[in-house]
Structure 1
Amino acid sequence: MKNRYLLSIFTILLLSACGGEKANNGEIAESDTLIYIPVEAGRAEQGSVSAYYSTTATLEAEEEAEVVAKTNGIITRLFVEEGDFVRVGTPLLQLDDTQYKLEVNRAEANLNRLQSDFDRNKEMFERNMVSAEVFDRVKYEYESQKATLDMAKLNVEYTTVRAPISGVVSERMVRTGNMVVPNQNVFRVTTMNPLKAILHLPEHELQKIKVGQKVMMDIDAIPNTTFEGSVERISPVVDRSTGTFRVVVLLRDQANRIKPGMFARVRVVYDVRDQTMVVPKLAIINDGGRNSVFVVNDSLVKRKNVTVGYTNGTKVEILNGLDIGDVVVTVGHNSLRDSTRVEIINIL
């Protein structure tokens, strides 16, 4: 009987000990199962942000000339080829000038003869030995022959076709031995620097755009490079059919990487704010027109409403709602609520 009583007490104590151990393990398990949501974050910091109007355009040459022959003749020599750089007045091709030089010689001989007649009649007219009518006729023949000689010399000069502008020979349209006639296209010369982009902007942007404003261009054919240009000219009138006005932008590239015909994505910068607060664009949550961010403090997040300003690439201007140095969540918003615990795995 006594043994049975002792066995019962031992069993109760054993069960109590096991129950207490389970309770303690439950407390430890509850502590170990706090959930930390992994997120990426960035900081509110001072920076520069700009406002711009975005559009697209095809680059064009600021100057381009169709070179034409001014006289007829057979091409005896080509001095340049496509891709060659030429300056104003550089010879491009030579026409056969044999006939024109002979005409110069004949015109000079006739002029010499008429010069003698003119000098003799002038002296006689001053002595009243010939009438004014005779003297005027001789003078007219003499002046006419001078013009004939000048024209003959000009035709000789025209047999050398020269570049009307400085630039690159972008197209050759003739070959040696071809016969050309006046006003026939023989070359195209194109300026490569600067190039221009013609923009057609909506009329509500007219008051924002000014001559000299900075323009940023990204060109598809030249990735990972942003080129800088400026507004050169602004049309003073709005096209009534489209509601747009014309803006000419000049783009300079000393390395000559950009070419006419390239497609460009253009940003006309009309305002710049320096030393303003910016956060990564990914941090902004837009919910029904209200903007907010999750701010991290001691591994806990709190959602704060913010007022945003300009958006510039990957950065957004914050006008109020944050302080410099605040850490904001950029990736992982969807799993967050106020007071959610987070673990920052990467901070920008």
Structure 2
Amino acid sequence: MPWYIFSIICLLLTACGQPQTPPAKHTARNPTAHLVKTAIVSPQPLTTTTVYTGTLRARRIVRIFTQEKGRITYLPYYEGDVIKVNARLVQLDDVLLKAELNKAIATHKYARLNVRRLQKLANKKMIPADDLSRAQTEQAIARASEKILRTRLSYTKITAPLTGIVTARLAEPGDVISENTHVLTVIVPTSLVIDVDVSSLLLSQLKLKETVLVRIDALGTKTFKGYVSRIHPTIAPRTRLGRIEVALRPLPQGVRVGQFCRVIIKSHISPRLTLPYTALRRDRAGEYVFIVDADNKVQRQSVRSGRRLADRVEIVEGLKKEQVVVIKGFLGLQAGKTVLLKE
């Protein structure tokens, strides 16, 4: 037998004869507690700050219309002019109406004298009663005609019903206009309000005279104090928005009708269950939190959240008062795991 074959056989026999080394035993470790930070679910009053946009408008606005036709002979006011109450705004040509009025006055006077004459004759039984009745009817018609013409003549002069500012001039002296023609628009500058459309939820919480803050873009970043002056009783069925009116008192310098405004409203909601927003988790199954039980073990609890306000969130469903929830330490955290509460 060759020497090299003999050497291989000896090596194989030596390897088979060595005892097998037993596998190393794994030493069991005690599971360590998971370190987390917690918070207590508690009811807290919620305060929201919402910015709404609106437009300045005049609450008191008067559109001056003519009630008589004719040629304008006097119209001195232009846009921006201040007018006083009872000031003459418009004068129409009244020559023809004055002539008709004089005729009606004469007719009325004649009818009145005729009734007196016939009354004396009727007392003496010298005329039929129908003649007196006819004369009395003619007198009443003449009196009514005179009154109509006096009223029409008064319509040729239009006076200011209030003190305000002219915002629109729609006619000029010399124009011949018909009845019910719009010639001027006057507003009361102290009646400026802001129309704001707000959600129906907020509308139910607002009260009259409630203070708000207003910022007018045209006047820079400065804010002004205002208050809710009126709450409209209806809500738009399509948008579910209701309207409020915000008044500024005193009015800041430089305000104009039509300016764009931002109204800052703080609303207070009755106490609701809340917790830090960081405690709320989400996955495909929905929203949930980890609650800590009496044995310091965490359990998954499905919840339904509401409003988020700053660093807290309202919990509408799924939790009870005084429950403990995890707000930090979610890495590797699973339901049933023992946790160590971090101070």
Q: Same fold (TM over 0.5)?
A: yes
Letter in 2 for 1:169: V
Match of 2:223 among 222, 226, 234: 226
The match for 1:153 is 150
Query: 1:334 matched to which residue of 2?
Result: none
* Alpha carbons 1:69, 1:185 under 8 Å: kept: yes
Unmatched tracts of structure 2, length 5 or more = 1-46, 270-275, 282-307, 313-343
> RMSD over aligned Cα, in angstroms?
3.0
Code of the aligned partner of 1:93: V
Q: Which letter does structure 2 place at the counterpart of 1:94?
A: Q
Q: 1:249 to 1:137 in 2, by over 3 A?
A: farther
Match of 1:262 among 259, 263, 268: 259
CA distance in 2: counterparts of 1:114 and 1:83, whole angstroms = 51
Q: 1:129 to 1:254 in 2, by over 3 A?
A: farther
Amino acid at match of 1:186: V
Residue correspondence of structure 1 range 80-91 to structure 2 within 5 A: 80-91=77-88
Shift of 1:258: 0.9
Identity %: 27
The aligned counterpart of 1:102 is 99
Please give the per-residue CA displacement for 1:71-93, whole angstroms capped at 9, x wherever unaligned.
11111122322211123332112
The change in CA–CA distance for 1:154 and 1:255 in structure 2 (over 3 A counts) is farther
1:150 deviates by 1.5
Instruction: State how far apart, in whole Å, the 2-side matches of 1:270 and 1:124 are.
Output: 85
Residue aligning to 2:41: none
Q: 2:133 aligns with which of 133, 136, 139?
A: 136
Partner secondary structure for residue 233 of structure 2 = coil
TM-fit CA distance, 1:106: 1.0
TM-score (norm 1): 0.60
Q: Tell me which structure has the larger Cα radius of gyration.
A: 2
1:117 pairs with 96, 114, 117, which one? 114
Shift of 1:183: 0.7
Determine the structure 2 residue equivalent to 1:92.
89
Q: 1:127 to 1:212 in 2, by over 3 A?
A: farther
Q: 1:127 to 1:216 in 2, by over 3 A?
A: farther
The TM-score with structure 2 as length reference comes to 0.61
Unmatched tracts of structure 1, length 5 or more = 1-49, 273-284, 291-308, 318-348
The number of residue pairs the alignment matches comes to 235
Matches within 5 A, 1:62-73: 62-73=59-70
For 1:53 and 1:123, the matched residues in 2 are separated by 84
- The CA distance in 2 between the partners of 1:256 and 1:157, in whole Å, is 39
Contact kept, 8 Å, 1:52 with 1:271, in 2: the verdict is: no
For each residue in 1:208-263, what CA deviation from the matched residue of structure 2 results, as whole angstroms up to 9, or x when unmatched? Answer: 11111112210000114322222122123332221122212223444552111000
Deviation at 1:268, TM superposition (A): 3.0
Q: 1:198 and 1:143, CA in 2 relative to 1: closer, same or farther beyond 3 A?
A: same
Are residues 235 and 126 of structure 1, via their aligned partners in 2, closer, same or farther at CA, if it must alter by over 3 Å? farther
